[in-house]
């Protein structure tokens, strides 16, 4: 069966461990997925936020590069886990938070998927509406979202094939806009004007963009062969994500410093003065955003199925996929269509809360996987309601909740709150750092240190489960 034929067949696997016979491809396949997913002019909006919060061109560029470097490293570390274990990321979280304790990151992920689906749908709708002004924004949002629904319904193979085909048209569109923005000029790269508050805030917002792929990056590596090298899965994921995101966000910085930082699509129109070139670029951008948003729908579907399997057996079927796609699709459309005019400010608040919730989760997940268990989990037990991830005195797991992970997580949240500043919450410590939102720093460090302390006594046992139960091959 050809790759195209496979891509047109609706995937029936959901959160089950992928059998070795169905695992194929190479780690190199991860590059176009994450390069194409992020190589669209729409992502320039997130780079523009580095200017919106108060940085000049030079320091916005530095914040974008360093922020994406940090985000891509953490994202790629999570990608390795999918190829090793063959399950979605949040199923694997049962290994750290317990069978029912994993419902905590699942709930956070539901918020993430819904918010990013709505946000991305608005950006895609704006691009299509700007290309064809006769189409109202709500209709444009629906059209772009429909493309996302089709790809996410077909599943993993379709998303990979679409990413490969989309890579070059997307690159051409981004190249054209980048060259035009550089030619337009007026770019002042002076190093003067550094302000710690805006710079650190921009770094956190930019890093969040790739960090928030962490809960579902494994969904796109879990079909790889079991002998895939961790370094290869890491490298190809990192390369695609970092290059695609950094390029488009730097473009956003250029546009924001030359035109209106709050409206990237309008800036593109002003850059070219309208015309067919703008129309083509914006249409390509809208299609790309629709394809990118399929990642959010696909991930949300797996996330909801994961939640459901915590209480009952869920049969893998096409009907299950359709039903589990609908909540995020419908609610996301409603939110997108009725989004307020303060779009940039609301997205900044949304990203700040994602940092608060997911950085401590990531700290627990990565330390547990790489430091404590060294990638060895009892994968069959992820699906056993009364197994080792339901009760294990060694790891303080009782009633399906791992209290080592929960204590570390909530201590990390408590440590982060005084350093949070997003327009809704202003922590007491933020004036000391130029009112920057630095919640992710204590969220990461404190959570990690507490988790290491709590697991010190059982680390050796946790790192070496019985040979008869080891899986991942």
CB atoms within 10 A of CB 458: 16
> What integer pLDDT is reported at residue 471 of this predicted model?
44
Q: What is the pTM of this model?
A: 0.82
Helix or strand or coil: residue 136?
coil
The number of residues in the chain equals: 473
Residues 257-269 have pLDDT tens digits of 988 777 787 888 8
Highest-confidence segment of 132-136, 175-179, 387-391: 387-391
Residues 430-450 have pLDDT tens digits of 888 888 888 989 999 999 999
Residues 203-222 have pLDDT tens digits of 988 998 898 888 878 888 99
> What integer pLDDT is reported at residue 1 of this predicted model?
36
Give percent of the chain above pLDDT 70.
91
Tell me which residue of 134, 140, 155 sits closest to 285, measured CA to CA.
Answer: 140
Residues 218-249 have pLDDT tens digits of 888 998 998 999 999 999 999 999 999 999 99
**Range with the poorest average pLDDT among 21-35, 189-203, 258-272, 336-350:** 336-350
The tokens for 469 are 């139960």
Inform me whether the pLDDT recorded for 167 exceeds 70. yes
Residues 181-209 have pLDDT tens digits of 999 877 778 888 888 888 988 998 899 88
Tell me which residue of 335, 265, 300 sits closest to 118, measured CA to CA.
Answer: 335
CB atoms within 10 A of CB 9: 12
DSSP secondary structure string for all residues of 340-384: -S-HHHHHHHHHHHHHHHHHHHHHHHHIIIIIISTT---GGGGG-
- Is beta strand 401-402 parallel, antiparallel or unpaired with respect to 397-398? antiparallel
Q: Give the pLDDT band (50/70/90) at residue 305.
A: confident
CA dihedral 270, 243, 367, 88 (to 10 degrees): 80
Q: Classify domain 3-10+23-353 by CATH number.
A: 1.10.4160.10
Contacts of 249 by beta carbon, 8 Å cutoff, 6+ apart: 43, 44, 46, 47, 50, 64, 68, 206, 209
The tokens for 67 are 């922020």
Domains of the chain: which residue ranges?
3-10+23-353
> What integer pLDDT is reported at residue 26 of this predicted model?
92
Q: Give the pLDDT band (50/70/90) at residue 72.
A: very high
When the pLDDT of each residue in the chain is averaged and rounded to a whole number, the result is: 85
- Judged on CB neighbours under 10 Å (0-12, 13-18, 19+), 139 is middle
Q: Give the pLDDT band (50/70/90) at residue 160.
A: low
Residues 270-298 have pLDDT tens digits of 888 877 888 888 888 888 888 878 878 88
- Judged on CB neighbours under 10 Å (0-12, 13-18, 19+), 239 is middle
């Amino acid at each position: 069966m050809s790759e195209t034929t496979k891509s047109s067949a609706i995937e029936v696997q959901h959160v089950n461990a992928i059998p070795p016979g169905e695992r194929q491809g190479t780690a190199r396949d991860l590059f176009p997925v994450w390069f194409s997913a992020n190589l669209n002019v729409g992502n320039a909006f997130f780079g523009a936020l580095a200017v919106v919060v108060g940085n000049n061109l030079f320091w916005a560029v530095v914040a974008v590069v360093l922020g994406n470097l940090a985000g891509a490293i953490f994202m790629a570390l999570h990608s390795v886990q999918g190829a090793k274990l063959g399950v979605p990321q949040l199923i694997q979280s049962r290994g750290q938070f317990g069978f029912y304790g994993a419902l905590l990151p699942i709930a956070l992920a539901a918020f993430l998927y819904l918010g990013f689906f709505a946000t991305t749908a608005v950006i895609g709708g704006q691009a299509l509406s700007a290309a064809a002004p006769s189409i109202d924004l709500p209709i444009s949002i629906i059209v772009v979202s429909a493309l996302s629904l089709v790809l996410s319904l077909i599943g993993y193979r379709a998303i990979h094939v679409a990413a490969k085909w989309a890579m070059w048209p997307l690159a051409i569109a981004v190249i054209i806009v980048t060259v035009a923005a550089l030619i337009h000029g007026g770019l002042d790269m002076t190093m003067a004007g550094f302000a710690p508050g805006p710079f650190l805030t921009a770094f956190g917002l930019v890093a969040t963009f790739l960090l928030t792929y962490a809960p579902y990056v494994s969904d796109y590596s879990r079909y790889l062969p079991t002998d895939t090298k961790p370094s290869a899965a890491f490298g190809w994921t990192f390369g695609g994500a970092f290059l695609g995101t950094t390029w488009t966000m730097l473009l956003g910085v250029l546009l924001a410093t030359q035109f209106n930082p709050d409206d990237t699509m309008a800036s593109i129109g002003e850059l070219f003065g309208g015309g067919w070139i703008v129309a083509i670029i914006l249409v390509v951008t809208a299609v790309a955003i629709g394809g990118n948003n399929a990642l959010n729908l696909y991930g949300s579907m797996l996330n909801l199925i994961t939640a459901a399997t915590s209480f009952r057996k869920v049969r893998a079927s096409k009907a299950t996929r359709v039903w589990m796609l609908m909540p995020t699709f419908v609610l996301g459309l409603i939110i997108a269509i009725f989004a307020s005019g303060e779009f940039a400010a609301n997205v900044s608040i949304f990203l700040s809360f994602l940092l608060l919730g997911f950085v401590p989760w990531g700290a627990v997940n990565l330390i547990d996987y790489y430091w404590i268990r060294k990638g060895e989990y009892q994968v069959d037990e992820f699906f056993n309601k009364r197994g080792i991830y339901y009760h294990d005195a060694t790891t303080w797991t009782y009633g399906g909740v791992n209290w080592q992970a929960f204590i570390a997580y909530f201590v990390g949240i408590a440590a982060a709150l005084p350093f949070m500043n997003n327009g809704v919450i202003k922590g007491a410590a933020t004036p000391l750092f130029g009112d920057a939102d630095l919640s992710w720093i204590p969220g990461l460090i404190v959570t990690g240190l507490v988790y290491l302390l709590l697991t010190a006594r059982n680390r050796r046992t946790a790192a070496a489960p019985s040979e008869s139960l080891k899986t991942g091959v």
